Structure 1
Amino acid sequence: MATNPKPGLPLAKLRAENYISREFAQGENEHLWGKVWLVAGRVEELKEVGDFLTFNVANESIVVARSKDGLVAYHNVCPHRGRRLADGCGRSSQFRCKYHGWTFNLEGKNTQVLDRHDWEGALDDERLDLWPVRVDTWAGFIWICMDPDGESLAEYLETIPEYLDPFELEEMRFRWKVELHLPVNWKVALEAFMEGYHVAATHPQLIKVAGNDYTQSYAQGKHAHFGYWKDVQPLGTSSPRLAGNVYSDAREGVIEFFRQIEEDLNAIQTDRDFEAAKKIMDVLPPDVDAMTAMGTAIELGRQAAIEDGTNYPERLTFEALAKAGSDWHIFPNCVTLPYFDGALWYRARPDSLDPSNPDKCVFEIWSLKRYGPGKEPKIETRLITDPVNESVGLILDQDIANMTEVQAGMKSSKFAYARPNPVQEMEIINFHKTLERYVLGQSRG
């Protein structure tokens, strides 16, 4: 039997066509990707003059490089016959078209047209330089925007820096990177990480040690976040959904929490945190309460970070941590879960080889960690094209397993729209309201 929603919480209806319609995907390509700020990479990837990376989204390709004056970005296309100039990442003092040799320096200026005299001066009034793209940085990420007249990155991010700057994400470095090519819409992939409502059913092992798994979520302009703000329980204790605490010894519950996050996720908290947490068995008595056990584990992790040559961020107090919550959706295509010592970052986008196909996407997962000077590892992106047979880790495998079933289920003749939870899935509701304003000119409401 249908029930009325609580007062003030009207039923949100997210149309299936937002996920499965080729027309909607084409609308995103035309009206979304070229109008927003997008993460192209990390500043650490472009350390030296000449370092470059390419970022492809929908029908566009952008090359970002470090010139002698700082970061620059251009549309990755030769004005002669349209060939893309760069691919992947590397280091070069110039961009030379491999088709006919037209060449451009790091400032985007055309420096060579082979046999230019053949045009007999007809090229003199033509624009032969690369088309610039706006580029900026925040939190250690390189951001690009193809709209020359759009808002600044600071304006676009709205209140996000207020909440996330204390984490000092710019001080973190890649721990590992995974790129998955999935047969699902980019939003289906991203939304698997935009709410905590799924944890009890998808990750039942987590609710034994993750405290109260009930979340609340809030819109923050075009962005949104969720957290565990109601009836807070210490990590290391069991969810109220269970009959009682699985671990009678609070120390064991805390250590098991860190073990699961380290071994089954390998992100957010770090290997350093896990090793430090194990020490509470030696420094705390068996009858210690869970709050003290978790607080001690965090402090031991901070001490381990200092010994390793890095620091926990000074502004990230427990009050700032609580204010930020656990998870942020950064419109349109990124999600992050930050912590003292590390962070998890997701980026989703259409597959640029078939950008109007709503059943294909590229989904990237980045684990970040604070490292002492010179201790960060050299990272290669792990490419996964068969997620059924290639594991990312237990927790992420559980999330990925839902995606193809969701994409298939949305094509049912009986599925007209999704009905997201108005308390715990506001990130998704706000996402589609904002997305529809870009793609359709107005939210469907």
Structure 2
Amino acid sequence: MNGPVGKAVSDDLSEAVTYPVDAFISREYAQAEPERLWSKVWQQAGRVEELKQVGDYITYNICHDSILIVRDTPETLRAFHNVCPHRGRRLVGNNTGGGPKTVAQDTGAHSAKGNRLRFSCNYHAWTFDLDGSAEHIPDAEDWGGMLDHVCTSLTPVQVDTWGGWIWINMDMEAGPLREWLEPAASLLDPFQFEAMRYRFRQWGIFDCNWKVALEAFLEAYHVQGTHPQLMKYGDFYSFSRVIGMHSQTGFDSKEKREASAAATSVHRAAGEDDPRYTIAKMQAEFWETIGGSTTETLVKAAQRLPEELPEGTPAAEVHRHWLESARRDDAARGVDWPEISDREMAAAGLAVALFPNMNLIPGPTFSLYYRVRPYGTDPDKCIFEAVALDRFPEGEEPETEWTYAEQDLSQWPHVIAQDISNMVEVQRGYKSQGFKGNLPNPWQERKVTNLHRNLARYMDAGAPTPIPGPSDATEHSRLSEIKEGAQNAEHS
């Protein structure tokens, strides 16, 4: 791969830039990602709620690595490479063969899960405690005392939690998770995601690069083209800004480019129309066509707005009344909302992208998020996940499982299916000889550009560079005309 070339871009990515397609279609690039990128970054690997009891475990797979995450005490988690140090067999996986199935996992499953107080390799019966140390090695004396704790233990991986999510990093020298997540973590802390639980989680294997799938959710610029049915609720013009390694979007105004809590949240009321009705209709549509970005309580409270408020009530007052009404409804059923000020709501914006592969929409009682991963090192495939979180009365949290869905638009919520419809066509388009490079919107798609600037720092390739200025473009056009004239003269 070739390293970054061209002029450097500004820290805030405010200029018009371009970047090439290698990150999406190059097999060399995809094969370099495990070592250069995924082995060095913090990645969201699951939810704490999945590991309730000592011995509970899940696996997280990325490229050709599998990570085993276990609850070793009531208060702590550990993570290890899911591989036996003896001969390299995965400890947890699809256990076919002659030995007993110590861990069951169906072929094609999203991940493994279960409860074990020790892990035994089905190949030669090496057995490991929850702290990763070898508890039993058959005929250990055959090594003549040459085996030690280091070479016989499972290889550790960093593990930490934030927002109720489990995060791993294969680089044991990497800095703390909190340091990695800032300043995004501070913007999102008020939402208390750790008190939320899975409402649904769906996944599939898609025929596109993981970045193509992720980028489908990194900006609102695509709403007018991909989700035209939502335009009746108002203007989806948005800002997009860099926040360290991460980035965010929020609703904006072409005239003012300034925000309020009502204007920047996913609950934005529509333009000049009666906000009592537009909020109600938009919430109903979200619930019916996404199944996320809202809750049943919020939808029901929105439907009462035309009855509870007089015509002409300002949008900000409608918005405030709606949230206060929904808060009371939830309190009555045993669900407490966190205290989030208008300023904190506005600061969080519409959606936040956490580098490298997660994008989430925050709400006072919900979150809808997407996580995308490579499928091995195939540049033309990825693992796509859509997850909705919600707040539930204590003891009424649903038991959910990962549900597999083909890349069939009928198997996904309508709005998500609309996004999926672009993915394969983008992947195909990137291979066209007629495509000269990406031209992201300098105001509304900085999240996309920031993704590629960050990737270039790890991959040493694909850095965004400024688009040539008008004078350069004029000169390029003049040279093209000269070349074309010369060719025409030659043919004549």
TM-score between both structures, scaled by the size of structure 2 = 0.83
Instruction: Summarize the Cα distance change of 1:441–1:407 in structure 2 as closer, same or farther, 3 Å threshold.
Output: closer
Residue 425 of structure 1 pairs with residue 431 of structure 2: no
Partners of 2:17 and 2:464 within 8 A in 1: no
In the alignment, the residues of structure 1 paired with residue 333 and residue 71 of structure 2 have an alpha-carbon distance, to the nearest angstrom, of: 30
Match of 1:397 among 407, 417, 421: 417
Instruction: Give how far 1:177 is off.
Output: 0.1
Partners of 2:284 and 2:299 within 8 A in 1: yes
Instruction: Give how far 1:251 is off.
Output: 2.2
Partners of 2:366 and 2:389 within 8 A in 1: yes
Instruction: Summarize the Cα distance change of 1:373–1:197 in structure 2 as closer, same or farther, 3 Å threshold.
Output: same
Match of 2:116 among 84, 87, 92: 92
Instruction: Give how far 1:123 is off.
Output: 2.6
Match of 2:17 among 6, 12, 17: 12
In the alignment, the residues of structure 2 paired with residue 341 and residue 153 of structure 1 have an alpha-carbon distance, to the nearest angstrom, of: 24
Query: Where does residue 370 of structure 1 map in the other structure?
Result: 391
In the alignment, the residues of structure 2 paired with residue 28 and residue 386 of structure 1 have an alpha-carbon distance, to the nearest angstrom, of: 24
Partners of 1:236 and 1:256 within 8 A in 2: no
Query: Where does residue 27 of structure 1 map in the other structure?
Result: 32
* 1:187 alignment partner AA: K
Which structure is larger by alpha-carbon Rg, 1 or 2? 2
In the alignment, the residues of structure 2 paired with residue 442 and residue 201 of structure 1 have an alpha-carbon distance, to the nearest angstrom, of: 27
Residue 110 of structure 1 pairs with residue 134 of structure 2: yes
In the alignment, the residues of structure 1 paired with residue 395 and residue 252 of structure 2 have an alpha-carbon distance, to the nearest angstrom, of: 37
Instruction: Summarize the Cα distance change of 1:198–1:125 in structure 2 as closer, same or farther, 3 Å threshold.
Output: closer
- Give the paired residue count: 425
Instruction: Give how far 1:200 is off.
Output: 1.2
Partners of 1:38 and 1:145 within 8 A in 2: yes
Query: Where does residue 196 of structure 2 map in the other structure?
Result: 172
Match of 1:54 among 38, 59, 83: 59
Aligned ranges for residues 278-427 of structure 1 at < 5 Å? 278-314=303-339, 316-351=340-375, 355-388=376-409, 390-427=410-447
Query: Where does residue 271 of structure 1 map in the other structure?
Result: 296
TM-score between both structures, scaled by the size of structure 1 = 0.91
Describe the SS at the equivalent of 2:379. coil
Deviations 1:1-33 (A, max 9, x none): xxxxxxx94321121111111111112122000
Residue 81 of structure 1 pairs with residue 87 of structure 2: yes
Instruction: Summarize the Cα distance change of 1:125–1:137 in structure 2 as closer, same or farther, 3 Å threshold.
Output: closer
Match of 2:250 among 227, 230, 247: 227
Query: Where does residue 279 of structure 2 map in the other structure?
Result: 254
Instruction: Give how far 1:303 is off.
Output: 1.1
Report the aligned-residue RMSD.
Answer: 1.8
Query: Where does residue 146 of structure 1 map in the other structure?
Result: 170
Question: Percent identical across equivalent pairs?
Answer: 40
Query: Where does residue 195 of structure 1 map in the other structure?
Result: 219
Describe the SS at the equivalent of 1:53. strand
Deviations 1:80-129 (A, max 9, x none): 11111113011111111111111001010100112223333343476101
Partners of 1:57 and 1:349 within 8 A in 2: yes
In the alignment, the residues of structure 2 paired with residue 107 and residue 403 of structure 1 have an alpha-carbon distance, to the nearest angstrom, of: 42
Instruction: Summarize the Cα distance change of 1:137–1:17 in structure 2 as closer, same or farther, 3 Å threshold.
Output: same
* 2:285 alignment partner AA: Q
Q: Which moved more, 1:63-72 or 1:435-444?
A: 435-444
Instruction: Summarize the Cα distance change of 1:104–1:285 in structure 2 as closer, same or farther, 3 Å threshold.
Output: same
Instruction: Summarize the Cα distance change of 1:72–1:237 in structure 2 as closer, same or farther, 3 Å threshold.
Output: closer
Q: Which moved more, 1:200-209 or 1:400-409?
A: 200-209
In the alignment, the residues of structure 2 paired with residue 109 and residue 49 of structure 1 have an alpha-carbon distance, to the nearest angstrom, of: 16
In the alignment, the residues of structure 2 paired with residue 378 and residue 144 of structure 1 have an alpha-carbon distance, to the nearest angstrom, of: 24
Partners of 2:203 and 2:384 within 8 A in 1: yes
Partners of 1:37 and 1:153 within 8 A in 2: yes
Query: Where does residue 479 of structure 2 map in the other structure?
Result: none
Residue 63 of structure 1 pairs with residue 68 of structure 2: yes
In the alignment, the residues of structure 2 paired with residue 142 and residue 325 of structure 1 have an alpha-carbon distance, to the nearest angstrom, of: 24
* 1:334 alignment partner AA: M
List gaps (5 residues or longer) in structure 2.
Answer: 1-12, 94-111, 466-492
